[in-house]
A and B are shown apart, each in its own frame.
Chain A
Amino acid sequence: NAGVTQTPKFQVLKTGQSMTLQCAQDMNHNSMYWYRQDPGMGLRLIYYSASEGTTDKGEVPNGYNVSRLNKREFSLRLESAAPSQTSVYFCASRMTGMNTEAFFGQGTRLTVV
């Protein structure tokens, strides 16, 4: 059981380039999330999808777009990367319900130069 899989694990981009971070889960979870982790700031929510076909902004959505391709997959796109988007990105998923926990992917370290 793979859980939550993110690709790639590492990426270096030049300013202005675009890229898509991929996330897939095999636990049949309804909800999926994208967070970014920066030193001294913990993890902050970028976007989330409560169910297939819906997406909502989180705390720091500017500069990002997302697609909930199907129930398994939730991608994060940077249209024009900026150095401020240098971060570690985490995807998470969770079965909707009160007493359920989130499962995280292993993270993507993105550097924008």
Chain B
Amino acid sequence: AQTVTQSQPEMSVQEAETVTLSCTYDTSESDYYLFWYKQPPSRQMILVIRQEAYKQQNATENRFSVNFQKAAKSFSLKISDSQLGDAAMYFCAYRSYNQGGKLIFGQGTELSVKP
């Protein structure tokens, strides 16, 4: 069975600075997807970024980028030029190609942004 681990329950960053959230996972599969979701206080789950395991190039979405290390099974999220609106809970998630689209989530990292 696959597992996802986020070892940082809380992180803090100064506005306009850069922060990196860590995620590791365990799987025996070679093809899969990895995701970062943002959950603000509204509770809404918002997809931030997605990475296909077969792609060597790291995904980027504006100020958000990932460092995907397949051999090390590591998938970190970097937020550049942090903004107050980035404050939220962030979840790392894994999805297999062949298991009905089920998402396996990490424990989450609560990010606070200081003005």
B11 within 8 A of A: no
- A33/B102 contact (C-beta < 8 A), A40-B107, A41-B107, A42-B107 known: yes
Dominant SS among interface residues on chain B = loop
B101–A50 touching, CB < 8 Å: yes
Q: How many A-B residue pairs have CB under 8 A?
A: 55
- A42/B108 contact (C-beta < 8 A), A104-B45, A106-B44 known: yes
Interface size (B, Cβ < 8 Å)? 22
Closest to B98 in A: A98
Give the interface size class of chain A: 20 to 34
Give 1 or 0 for each of B7-45: 1 = CB within 8 Å of chain A CB: 001000000000000000000000000010000001111
Dominant SS among interface residues on chain A = strand
Give 1 or 0 for each of B81-115: 1 = CB within 8 Å of chain A CB: 00000000001000001001111111110000000
B91–A42 touching, CB < 8 Å: yes
Expressed in whole angstroms, the minimum distance between the Cβ of A33 and any Cβ of chain B is 7
A48–B100 touching, CB < 8 Å: yes
Residues of A with C-beta under 8 A to B47: 101-102
A44 within 8 A of B: yes
**For window 62-113 of chain A, which residues contact chain B by CB distance below 8 Å?**
88, 90, 92, 94, 96, 98-102, 104, 106-107, 109
Residues of A with C-beta under 8 A to B52: 99
Interface residues of A (CB under 8 A from B): 31, 33, 35, 40-45, 48, 50, 56, 58, 88, 90, 92, 94, 96, 98-102, 104, 106-107, 109
Given A33-B103, A106-B42, A109-B43, 10 more A-B residue pairs with CB atoms under 8 Å apart are A42-B107, A43-B105, A45-B103, A48-B101, A90-B45, A94-B101, A96-B101, A98-B97, A101-B35, A102-B101
